[in-house]
Amino acid sequence: MNVRDIKLREWVAFLQAKTGNLPAAEEMFEQIRKRKDTKQNFYTDWNLAVMAYDRKDEAMAYQFLVPLLDQNAYDEDLIWIVLALAIKLEDRERFLATIPKSLTMRFHPLAIVVSYNFGDQSRTQELLGEFLRQTSWQLPPVNRRFNNLAELEKIIDEGIVEGQIEQLVSWLEARIVSHKGWIPNYLALARVYEEECQDVENAFKILRNRLRIVQNDNKQDKRKKDDACRDLLELCKRNKYKKLGEQAFQLAIKACTSKDLLNSFKNFAPKENEAIVDQAKPDPPPQIVTPLRQTDPQLAERLAWVTARFASVRNIATYVEEQKALDQFVRIVTEMNPEESGSVVDKINNISTVVQRFFSTEVGDHDARRVLYTRAIGFEESLTKLLNSGVLSQNLTDIITPYHAALKKVLGDLSRQAGIGPKIDVVIENPFISNETEKSTLVIKATNESQRQVSDVQIELLADNSILNIAGNKNSIISNLNSQQSAFINFPIRCNGMKSNNGSSNIPVDISIQASAEGFPNVDLGIIKRRIPIKTFKEFIGAEQIPKKFQKVALNPSEPDLFQGRDDIMKKIKNSFSGGIQRERYFLDGIRRTGKTSILNFLPRSLPENVIPVLINLDTFGLTAGPIDSPSFLHGICGLMCESMMSGTNNGNEIHPPDKEAFVSNPGQAFNQFLTDFKTKTDGKVPLLMIDEFQTLLEAIARTGSGINRDTLVLDQLRGHLDQGNLYATMTGSVRFDRLSQITDHRIFGSLTRLRVTFLAEESVKQVLHAGLEQWVKIPDETVRKVYQLTGGYPWLIQDYGANLVDLLNDEHRTIATEKDIELITEESILCNNEHFKHWWPTNQLSSEEERFIEELFRKYPDQENVETREFFGSIHHREQPAFRRAFENLRACEVLDSTQTEKLSFRGTVLRRWLEQQIQSDGRLRIRVDYQEKPNTDRGKTGVFIDHENLIKSLERISAARGKTYSKNKLDWFSHILKNLLSEAENRVGMLGFKVAVAFWNRPEESNLQSAYFDNGFTPAQPENVKLENAVDFKVADEVRRANEQAMREKTWLSRAIIVTGDGDLSHIVRALVNDRVAVQVWAGSKETSNQYQKIVGEENIVALDDVCGL
């Protein structure tokens, strides 16, 4: 036997194992394994694992299999076995890490239990969210075939939107293993790594593997190799990774890519004294390395000379004189950028040709000169678009910019010699001036009708007369107007004596216009004379005032025109009924005032005939405070169903709910009997329960107790009858769907499908404004766009802007709305009233984490509207990344940040940004000051800080020594200062503190001396029993936390957030209990004493080092 043939020896070992000679087989496999360096061999390790498992050595089998899984080998059997062994051997971290590789949801229930027991709350929530979303979207099978990249990209986009990034990565890795030659898999995975995981290194590895696949192809397609190298180099250039770029450049040289491609990325080329690539061991077949293009060593000097010559170009004559310099410039551009300079050079040559012909044309040939001027303008606009498009490299753009600046001067001279100056058209938009008001606004629209951009457009109103006076500035300046662009100008006016001036039917208005363009500074365009009719409001619009149709409450079918932008949601709900049976139950998820209740109000018009809509407004049940009374609630639902049936067609049958006593004695039986009678008397019709703000019901249920003592009768009845088809349901809520289980966990959530209700699109905003103002008011597109930019499409705020706009126009008896009007409303009505933002920044869902996120955003990017997501998170310390990621998701879910943008951070509406900027305090901190009365259902629970004083002092003494801080013997001043800093930081993180407790043996002299510091800051000092227990203080702290929780429940609230200040791990039991009760816990301790056990319970992001917050 040839002992060097490894494959042959593997076969011999396998046959020995099959024939029962296990020891010999195992020995031979081990020998083979040792000869294969560090690279794992799937078949060898698999066979060794099987033999280890057969002899009951599961731990050894597990050790063989895990490295195979880490090689990204996609094998379903392997994954399932590793999952099973990980559970059996209690390797919970491996089990949770392997779950995404399974590409299925079947193991999620078990994973949720494991992560919950493991104390990993964030992972539990993530798994639960994925599991709840499974009914709406799942990844297709790994072996699914796609016709092209577009089909695959669609799946990728859906996965990103659904937040299944981790599963998406595992799915794509598995596809690469099973379809190694299909390039779109590599491109898709690289995109996910770069854009979603922000992991450029892994994206580079994937694209490098793609290049190897192309190189190993027998066909050796040069175009494919160039594409693969270009993608690698562009990745590095895009992300400014110099070292990776140099690696990519060497790979490109080794792959024999085109010399033009190499030249376009020569910034990554090695220096002259460095070896380009080690060619001692070239890959077969031998390849010829293409050297870089040899450039003129005096190229930079030539470019500097040409650029200097452009400074002398001021008009057509000097442009023609510098033709040699222009020719030299074109050659330099071509030589330096052969790949991308083609279109630029063509445009420069075309412009030069036109200028030359214009220069040669007779001065009196006006028509020919105008034609040439128009052509020159076209070429220049094309060049401008190319420079602004971002397509050209920055290097080429920088080279072209001096030429482009000189060209603008030449075009100005062309315009002057062709006799084509700036042309501004001015129109008064007011169709009339009312004689019933003293104050109004004259609106003028200025349009640039010339082919060039104009600047410093000055409009002066010359209308002062006995009838009309200008109330403010008579002049208005528009800094820039592009060709065919318009701008609206508002002139406040006062009307004098028009009521008594019956002889005048109109008012004369003179308008003076000046404008500048290249080659035409400060051109006086003369005075335009206009006359405006004098009319009453009723004469013009047929009414005394513009009716106020905009509503600040839920819309009803009586005003259908205001209900816009919800066709897709209405269709989904309508199509969820098939054959009169509800096939899908939707939970409408969105912040308050986005139109969820309006959808329920309009829904009955889209329902099948056998469905009876029953709107349930939970506010009428008194659930906003205190626990639910289940019998009364079920009885109330029955009453609403009876009312809904009686208001519709009931075939003469009457039905009344049973006596309330029957519900008190046996609510479940009474509810069942009522539904049976209801079905009989309505000829089989089914009630559709439209439950508005469903989380209110869950909160009332949560207040009944915890665990088995919680009264879930209502949810049990609803879920049971929904499953049996006795009831249908559609629910709404202003709490995120994946957060409902945190209020009250119940199996009813598994039967619901999330349907997001978000903001309106710009076209829908336009439709709403036009519907509210109808035929009475002209609303230019610029005004609509201003409302959309400010509100982001927030339906409630759009209605508010519309109502304020009606008031403003009625006051001035005006029928034209402008951007200035919207800005005036923003300043005087919106920003000054926090009521407008209480739902857009819901304080019951957004906390100090989100405030810190906005603080950081404003601090680092104070004037930047759009910030790259990757750039922002790249500046956040890794320890704070989880908290900032959570805040980012919450801000997007609440529509504070634009949820449609994944690569950029931008506010959904600019008015919200401006309001948040107003909330920034003098110390740079963002604190949302709620000056309105919150409803009880916005209660965010109590917060508390609990201090183990003795361990706190030990940590502070160590920190002071390390930082060279001294203190007096009694320590009181030193400690008082630190305690104030700790409290300030605690309130910044968790809000106002409801409980402040410090535990120590206060009868000891060293402790009693510092007790006054606690009293001064509102603490309740507590003391353990005088017993000789090592951990007496720890037990007392745990007892005080329990007391605080009980006190909160007596006050009909709960302990929602707690800070435990300690220096050791003896409080881990109470921390774990709090986490299990869904209390948000932070542990503050000295960095040296911080226990790993705490990190496993609350996560690294909730461990706070006293070094960072004590103020020393």
Between 574 and 198, the higher pLDDT residue: 574
Task: Give the residue among 341, 372, 374, 337 at the shortest CA–CA distance from 357.
Answer: 372
> What's the mean pLDDT in 128-139?
60
pLDDT given at position 1018? 86
**pLDDT tens column, 1077-1090:** 778 888 887 654 55
Environment class of 397 (CB within 10 Å of its CB; exposed 0-12, middle 13-18, buried 19+): middle
Between 609 and 20, the higher pLDDT residue: 609
> Cα dist. 342→310, 386, 401 in Å?
21, 12, 16
pLDDT given at position 55? 76
The pLDDT confidence band at residue 294, using thresholds 50, 70 and 90, is very low
Report whether pLDDT(806) > 90: yes
CA 712, 714, 715: angle at the middle one, nearest 5? 65
CA distance 1035 to 847: 30
Q: What is the dotted CATH code of the domain comprising 566-756?
A: 3.40.50.300
Q: Where are the alpha helices (DSSP H) in 240-282?
A: 242-254, 259-264
Report whether pLDDT(456) > 70: yes
> Cα dist. 397→390, 391, 394, 453, 600 in Å?
9, 9, 5, 21, 55
The pLDDT confidence band at residue 1065, using thresholds 50, 70 and 90, is low
Specify the 3-state DSSP secondary structure of 468: strand
Structure tokens at 168: 């998406």
Contact residues for 117 (Cβ-Cβ < 8 A; gap 6+): 92
> Cα dist. 298→303, 309, 420 in Å?
9, 17, 43
The one-letter amino acid code at 120 reads: D
The pLDDT confidence band at residue 273, using thresholds 50, 70 and 90, is very low
Q: Quick one: DSSP state of residue 840? A: T
**pLDDT tens column, 466-491:** 677 888 888 899 998 888 899 999 99
CB atoms within 10 A of CB 290: 14
Report whether pLDDT(897) > 80: yes
Contact residues for 927 (Cβ-Cβ < 8 A; gap 6+): 851, 919, 921
Q: Quick one: DSSP state of residue 1051? A: T
What residues does each domain of the chain span? Answer: 6-133, 149-268, 298-408, 424-535, 566-756, 762-836, 843-919, 942-1108
Task: Give the residue among 509, 486, 529 at the shortest CA–CA distance from 433.
Answer: 509
pLDDT given at position 374? 83
pLDDT given at position 262? 80
The beta-carbon contacts of 117-121 under 8 Å, at least 24 apart in sequence, are 117/92, 118/92, 118/93, 118/1096, 119/1072, 119/1075, 119/1096, 119/1097, 119/1098, 120/96, 120/1096, 120/1099, 121/1075, 121/1098, 121/1099
Lowest-pLDDT range, 92-101, 239-248, 341-350, 862-871?
Answer: 92-101
Specify the 3-state DSSP secondary structure of 781: helix
Cis omega (within 30 of 0) for bond into 285: yes
> Contact at 8 Å (CB) between 1102 and 849?
no
pLDDT given at position 608? 93
Domain 424-535 has CATH 2.60.40.10: yes
CA distance 76 to 106: 13
pLDDT given at position 1066? 64
**Phi, psi torsion values for 560, nearest 5 degrees:** -65, -25
pLDDT given at position 288? 29
Q: Quick one: DSSP state of residue 337? A: -
Report whether pLDDT(44) > 80: no
User: What is the DSSP annotation of 523-568?
Assistant: EEEEEEEEEEEEE-HHHHHSSSS------SS---TTSGGG--S-HH
**Please, what is the end-to-end C-alpha distance for the chain in angstroms?**
76
Q: CATH fold of 149-268, please? A: 1.25.40
SS (H, E, C) 400-443: HHHHHHHHHHHHHHHHHHCCCCCCEEEEECCCCEECCCCEEEEE
> Cα dist. 90→120, 804, 911 in Å?
15, 64, 52
pLDDT given at position 366? 79
pLDDT given at position 758? 93
Between 846 and 83, the higher pLDDT residue: 846
Q: How many CA atoms within 13 Å lie on the side-chain side of 394?
A: 4
The pLDDT confidence band at residue 134, using thresholds 50, 70 and 90, is low
pLDDT given at position 798? 96
Average pLDDT, the chain: 82
CB atoms within 10 A of CB 146: 18
Q: Where are the beta strands (DSSP E) in 785-907?
A: 867-868, 904-905
**pLDDT tens column, 242-266:** 888 888 888 888 888 777 678 767 7
Q: Please give the model's pTM, rounded to 2 decimal places.
A: 0.57
**pLDDT tens column, 160-205:** 766 677 778 888 888 887 777 888 888 888 888 888 777 888 889 9
One fold for both 566-756 and 942-1108?
A: yes
> Cα dist. 1033→135, 947, 976, 1088, 1097 in Å?
50, 10, 22, 20, 21
Pairing verdict, β 454-462 and 581-582: unpaired
The one-letter amino acid code at 91 reads: D
Q: What is the dotted CATH code of the domain comprising 942-1108?
A: 3.40.50.1010
Lowest-pLDDT range, 216-220, 560-564, 970-974, 997-1001?
Answer: 216-220
Report whether pLDDT(499) > 70: no
**Phi, psi torsion values for 528, nearest 5 degrees:** -100, 130
pLDDT given at position 271? 62
**Phi, psi torsion values for 980, nearest 5 degrees:** -65, -40
Q: Calculate Rg over the CA atoms of the chain.
A: 37
CA distance 491 to 426: 14
Q: What is the dotted CATH code of the domain comprising 6-133?
A: 1.25.40.10
Domain 762-836 has CATH 3.40.190: no
Q: How many CA atoms within 13 Å lie on the side-chain side of 248?
A: 34
Report whether pLDDT(65) > 80: no
* Strongest mean pLDDT among 270-284, 368-382, 687-701: 687-701
**pLDDT tens column, 503-539:** 558 888 889 998 887 667 777 888 888 888 988 888 8
Report whether pLDDT(42) > 60: yes
pLDDT given at position 717? 95
CA distance 898 to 885: 15
CA distance 765 to 759: 10
CA distance 742 to 1087: 31
pLDDT given at position 721? 95
**Phi, psi torsion values for 755, nearest 5 degrees:** -130, 110
> What's the mean pLDDT in 374-396?
82
CB atoms within 10 A of CB 947: 26
Between 320 and 1065, the higher pLDDT residue: 320
Q: Where are the alpha helices (DSSP H) in 22-120?
A: 22-34, 42-54, 58-70, 76-88, 92-98, 108-117
pLDDT given at position 929? 52
